[in-house]
């Protein structure tokens, strides 16, 4: 198996799908001749042409709206938001048109929106957000967030094959930092959680960039404790069984989000555990997340709000001592 | 703001070249059916049988009838809430329309969405959302797919004067202009967006913006079904020839309130009277009577159809509450949009497509 970066794994999935299925087409700003702001579609323009690797006008609402129309007549569009932050300009089309279409009138809208998200680079308030919870709250949208190169490819294949609109959260901080062995060809990673590291004293539940962060935080063994890391991979659908299974085995839970804390994915996980896992708990569910502030620009300010290895470690230690 | 349209005599000249007598009767029939069904639904609303509010397109029947009449089975339509005739032309059964208002399982959405928020995708139609110009982009995306695949077909969508203020209006016209897409944008200028008149909506007649987007723009008397048909037939020909989109501004008047609760006190009485004299159904009736058509018999047949539909819709069960949370996501292979009916002789005789 070849070793690919997270970013190369995304490109590989797109390339395989484009080669295998002529219905698949890519739409976005600067993705064609330029190859994309992060070079995910580098070389695609030459191989697949301007129609299937479409440089669109700078119009996010139009990108999503046109993708809905194209999907309704048989294409499988994959839209790139240059930064996930910009989806706010296409929110209405995604939430009101795409998300509600199947429930209202039985018309499926198979499209994928790729959302390069997350902070850590001094991107400031408009290039660093983690907007996944906006879409978890909107019925009819699936939301996935890979943390490894293998899942980045497999989840994207599954998203493109899915008959529903799927928000694919790809974390910019993982693009070139994460590498791994990736199977060749088309394979699907299921929209369910995976145990990234098994354990029995405490479980850290997280997704996306918080998975490698959590693994690093618990790598020194936390004074000999056996710590599990559960990688959610999919936020909608949320793998309730896997979450409750980890809770039953570990009894202590730390939930980590890079997103702002209020109503985040982790808040939903905590609510689920309070409702259905209460009897298994041996301490309060602890949360580590970004406080409810815009992501600031200057490095010391940004580092002060984003979850860190140290903050995750502290939360785990505190809970282990409970 | 007043927008000029050609006077009726002038607009009517040369219209019949592409319309047989049967076509002209069909246009009237579609408008009569739309008005009759909406009047019936309004009665049901007043009886408390229609949940929510009630919206209709009284006085605007020619816009959707004429435009949809020019569209082929393989074309795709995004229809708005004052355009019932377009659904009827594509083949939606009157009982399904009334069932939709009543929130019954026989309605196109089975009670999942209300009143005119529907589109039968099996007939090539996509239902609207309440953010009205959104569908301009959906239609643009369909046209984009048609062009990419080299298919000779086009998309059509409707929207109102208020929609011209939203960003999606701009994004759609710009995108369709840049890519020269086969899409027809029907701007239904009915003088008011809820209570807001045209002079608070735009500083220039929006059809003039067509030039700025590099696309064709045409103003037409929206109360003349045959003129609507002709303008849209030409727009479709342009689209199929690869000459890009057309912005059709259909000038008409919303003769009822925004919805049933709206007494439209903000509309001057003279304005309503002026437009009442230009009623689209009266105009088509006058034409056909002068040609010796038995319009009374047509009215009677439409009326019977509406009575039967009412009976059928009222007999249809309400949706099962146990199903309310199901069907949010599609499972399995999606069903694609199907073809609708096309009534124009140019299609049925094979000469127009």
Each domain of chain A, given as residue ranges in start order, spans 3-181, 194-320
B260, B206, B294, B330: which is closest to B47 by C-alpha?
Answer: B260
C-alpha of A115 from chain center = 8
Per cent of chain A over pLDDT 90 is: 98
pLDDT at B12: 52
Cβ-defined contact of A96 to B131 (cutoff 8 Å): yes
Cβ-defined contact of B141 to A25 (cutoff 8 Å): no
Cβ-defined contact of A105 to B108 (cutoff 8 Å): yes
Per cent of chain B over pLDDT 90 is: 91
Residue ranges with strand state E in chain A: 3-5, 24-28, 53-55, 76-80, 112-117, 142-144, 166-171, 179-181, 194-197, 202-206, 227-231, 234-236, 253-260, 286-290
Residue B299: partners with Cβ closer than 8 Å, 6 or more residues away:
B32
User: Is A157 a known active-site residue?
Assistant: no
The Cα-based distances of B32 to A202, A265, A270 in angstroms read: 70, 53, 58
What band does B352 get if pLDDT is binned at 50, 70 and 90? very low
In whole angstroms, give the CA distance from residue B131 to residue B154.
Answer: 23
Q: Which residues of B57-87 are buried (b: 16+ CB within 10 A; e: fewer)?
A: bbbbbbbbbbbbbbbbbbbbbbbbbbbbbbb
pLDDT at B84: 97
Residue B173 exposed, middle or buried by CB count within 10 Å (0-12, 13-18, 19+): buried
Select the residue of B127, B142, B175 nearest A62 (Cβ to Cβ).
B175
How many angstroms away from the CA of A245 is the closest CA of chain B?
25
Select the residue of A66, A106, A107 nearest B137 (Cβ to Cβ).
A66
Residues of B in contact with A28 (CB under 8 A): none
| CB A83 within 8 Å of CB B157 | no
Which whole number is the average pLDDT over A219-241?
Answer: 94
Which whole number is the average pLDDT over A165-185?
Answer: 97
Cβ-defined contact of A69 to B131 (cutoff 8 Å): no
ipTM for the predicted complex comes to: 0.95
A98 touches chain B (CB under 8 A): no
pLDDT in tens, B182-223: 999 999 999 999 999 999 999 999 999 999 999 999 999 999
How many angstroms away from the CA of A61 is the closest CA of chain B?
7
Q: Residue B321 pLDDT more than 80?
A: yes
How many angstroms away from the CA of A109 is the closest CA of chain B?
8
The residue of A73, A109, A137 whose CB has the most chain B CBs within 10 angstroms, and thus the best one to mutate to test that interface, is A73
Cβ-defined contact of B126 to A164 (cutoff 8 Å): no
B145 touches chain A (CB under 8 A): yes
Residues of A in contact with B109 (CB under 8 A): 104-105
Query: Backbone dihedral region of A37: left (phi > 0), alpha (psi from -120 to 50 degrees) or beta?
Result: alpha
Residues of B in contact with A142 (CB under 8 A): 329
Domain boundaries defined on chain B: 15-259+283-316
Instruction: Tell me which of A2-6, A89-93, B52-56, B71-75 is least confident.
Output: B52-56
Cβ-defined contact of B109 to A105 (cutoff 8 Å): yes
B119, B83, B125, B82: which is closest to B100 by C-alpha?
Answer: B119
pLDDT in tens, B27-47: 999 999 999 999 999 999 999
B15-259+283-316 domain in CATH 3.40.50.970?
yes
Per cent of chain B over pLDDT 70 is: 95
Residues of A in contact with B334 (CB under 8 A): 107-108, 110, 163
pLDDT at A194: 98
- Per-residue DSSP letter, B3: -
Q: Is B344 helix (H, G, I), strand (E, B) or coil?
A: coil
What band does B348 get if pLDDT is binned at 50, 70 and 90? confident
CATH topology assigned to domain A3-181: Rossmann fold (3.40.50)
Across chain B, what does the average pLDDT equal?
Answer: 94
Instruction: Tell me which of A115-119, A193-197, A218-222, B48-52 is least confident.
Output: A218-222
Residues of B in contact with A105 (CB under 8 A): 108-109, 112-113, 118-121, 126-127
Which whole number is the average pLDDT over A310-315?
Answer: 97
A106 beta partners: none
B76 touches chain A (CB under 8 A): yes
In whole angstroms, give the CA distance from residue B240 to residue A166.
Answer: 33
In whole angstroms, give the CA distance from residue B116 to residue A228.
Answer: 52
Half-sphere exposure of B229 (CA within 13 A, CB side): 34
End-to-end Cα spacing for chain B: 38
Residues of A in contact with B175 (CB under 8 A): 56-57, 59, 62, 66
DSSP line for B250-319: EE----S-SSTT---TTS-HHHHHHHHTT-HHHHHHHHHHHTT--HHHHHHHHHHHHHHHHHHHHHSPPP
Q: Which of residues 5-24 of A touch B (CB under 8 A)?
A: none
- Per-residue DSSP letter, B25: H
Residues of A in contact with B140 (CB under 8 A): 62, 65-66, 69
What band does A223 get if pLDDT is binned at 50, 70 and 90? confident
| CB A1 within 8 Å of CB A182 | yes
Q: Is A108 helix (H, G, I), strand (E, B) or coil?
A: coil
pLDDT in tens, A2-47: 999 999 999 999 999 999 999 999 999 999 999 999 999 999 999 9
pLDDT at B351: 46
Exactly one of A127, A157, A171, A173 is catalytic; name it. Answer: A127
In whole angstroms, give the CA distance from residue A306 to residue A296.
Answer: 10
In whole angstroms, give the CA distance from residue A197 to residue A228.
Answer: 5
A93 touches chain B (CB under 8 A): yes
Q: Which CATH code of 3.40.1350.10, 3.40.50.920, 3.40.462.20, 2.40.50.140 fits the domain covering A194-320?
A: 3.40.50.920
In whole angstroms, give the CA distance from residue B76 to residue B90.
Answer: 10
Across chain A, what does the average pLDDT equal?
Answer: 97
Q: Residue B353 pLDDT more than 50?
A: no
| CB A50 within 8 Å of CB A59 | no
- Per-residue DSSP letter, B337: P
Q: Residue B8 pLDDT more than 60?
A: no
A65 touches chain B (CB under 8 A): yes
Residues of A in contact with B142 (CB under 8 A): 69-70, 72-73
pLDDT at B116: 84
What band does A220 get if pLDDT is binned at 50, 70 and 90? confident
Q: Which residues of B305-333 are buried (b: 16+ CB within 10 A; e: fewer)?
A: bbeebbebbeebeebeeeeeeeeebbeee
Q: Residue A226 pLDDT more than 50?
A: yes
Cβ-defined contact of B178 to A57 (cutoff 8 Å): yes
Cβ-defined contact of A65 to B146 (cutoff 8 Å): no
Cβ-defined contact of A66 to B140 (cutoff 8 Å): yes
């Amino acid at each position: 198996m070849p070793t690919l970066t997270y970013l190369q794994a995304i490109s590989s999935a797109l390339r395989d799908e484009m080669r295998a299925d002529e219905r698949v087409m890519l739409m976005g700003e600067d993705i064609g001749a330029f190859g994309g702001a992060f070079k995910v579609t580098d070389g695609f323009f030459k191989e697949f042409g301007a129609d299937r690797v479409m440089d669109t006008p700078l119009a996010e609402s139009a990108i999503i709206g046109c993708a809905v129309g194209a999907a309704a007549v048989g294409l499988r569009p994959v839209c790139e938001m240059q930064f996930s932050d910009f989806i706010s300009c296409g929110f209405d089309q995604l939430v009101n048109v795409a998300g509600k279409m199947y429930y209202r009138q039985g018309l499926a809208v198979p499209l994928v929106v790729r959302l390069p998200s997350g902070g850590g680079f001094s991107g400031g308030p408009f290039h660093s957000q983690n907007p996944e919870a906006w879409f978890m709250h909107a019925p009819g949208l699936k939301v996935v967030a890979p943390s490894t190169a293998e899942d980045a490819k497999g989840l994207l294949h599954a998203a493109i094959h899915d008959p529903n609109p799927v928000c694919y959260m790809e974390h910019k901080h993982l693009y070139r930092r994460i590498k791994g062995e990736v199977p060749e060809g088309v394979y699907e990673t299921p929209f369910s959680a995976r145990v990234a590291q098994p354990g029995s004293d405490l479980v850290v539940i997280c997704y996306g960039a918080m998975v490698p962060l959590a693994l690093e935080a618990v790598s020194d063994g936390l004074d000999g404790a056996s710590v599990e890391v559960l990688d959610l991979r999919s936020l909608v659908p949320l793998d309730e069984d896997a979450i409750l299974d980890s809770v039953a085995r570990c009894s202590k839970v730390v939930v980590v989000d890079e997103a702002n804390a209020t109503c985040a994915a982790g808040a939903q996980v905590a609510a689920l555990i309070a409702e259905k896992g209460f009897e298994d708990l041996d301490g309060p569910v602890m949360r580590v997340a970004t406080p409810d502030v815009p992501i600031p620009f200057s490095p010391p300010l940004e580092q002060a709000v984003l979850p860190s290895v140290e903050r995750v470690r502290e939360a785990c230690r505190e809970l282990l001592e409970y | 703001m007043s927008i000029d349209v050609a006077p009726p005599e002038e607009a009517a000249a040369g219209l019949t070249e592409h319309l047989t007598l049967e076509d002209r009767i069909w246009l009237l029939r579609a408008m009569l059916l739309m008005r009759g069904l909406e009047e019936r639904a309004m009665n049901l609303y007043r009886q408390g049988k229609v949940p929510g509010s009630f919206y209709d397109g009284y006085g605007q029947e020619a816009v959707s009838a004429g435009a949809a009449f020019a569209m082929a089975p393989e074309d795709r339509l995004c229809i708005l809430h004052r355009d019932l005739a377009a659904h009827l032309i594509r083949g939606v059964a009157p009982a399904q329309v009334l069932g939709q208002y009543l929130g019954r399982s026989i309605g196109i959405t089975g009670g999942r969405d209300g009143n005119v928020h529907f589109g039968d995708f099996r007939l090539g139609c996509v239902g609207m959302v309440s953010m009205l110009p959104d569908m301009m982009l959906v239609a643009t995306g369909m046209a984009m797919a048609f062009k990419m695949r080299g298919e000779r077909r086009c998309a059509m969508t409707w929207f109102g004067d208020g929609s011209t203020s939203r960003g999606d209006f701009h994004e759609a016209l710009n995108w369709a202009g840049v890519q020269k897409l086969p899409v027809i944008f029907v701007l239904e200028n009915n003088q008011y967006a809820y209570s807001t008149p045209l002079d608070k909506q735009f500083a220039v007649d929006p059809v003039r913006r067509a030039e700025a987007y590099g696309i064709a723009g045409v103003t037409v008397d929206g109360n003349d079904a045959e003129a609507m048909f002709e303008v849209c037939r030409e727009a479709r020909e342009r689209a199929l020839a690869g000459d890009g989109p057309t912005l059709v501004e259909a000038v008409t008047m919303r003769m009822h309130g925004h919805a049933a609760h709206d007494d439209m006190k903000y509309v001057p009485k003279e304005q309503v009277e002026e437009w009442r004299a230009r009623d689209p159904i009266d105009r088509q009736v006058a034409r056909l009577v002068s040609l010796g058509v038995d319009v009374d018999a047509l009215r009677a047949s439409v009326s019977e159809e509406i009575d039967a539909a009412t009976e059928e819709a009222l007999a249809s069960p309400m949706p099962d509450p146990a199903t309310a949370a199901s069907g949010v996501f599609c499972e399995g292979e999606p069903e694609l949009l199907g073809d609708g009916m096309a009534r124009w002789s140019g299609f049925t005789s094979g000469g127009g497509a």
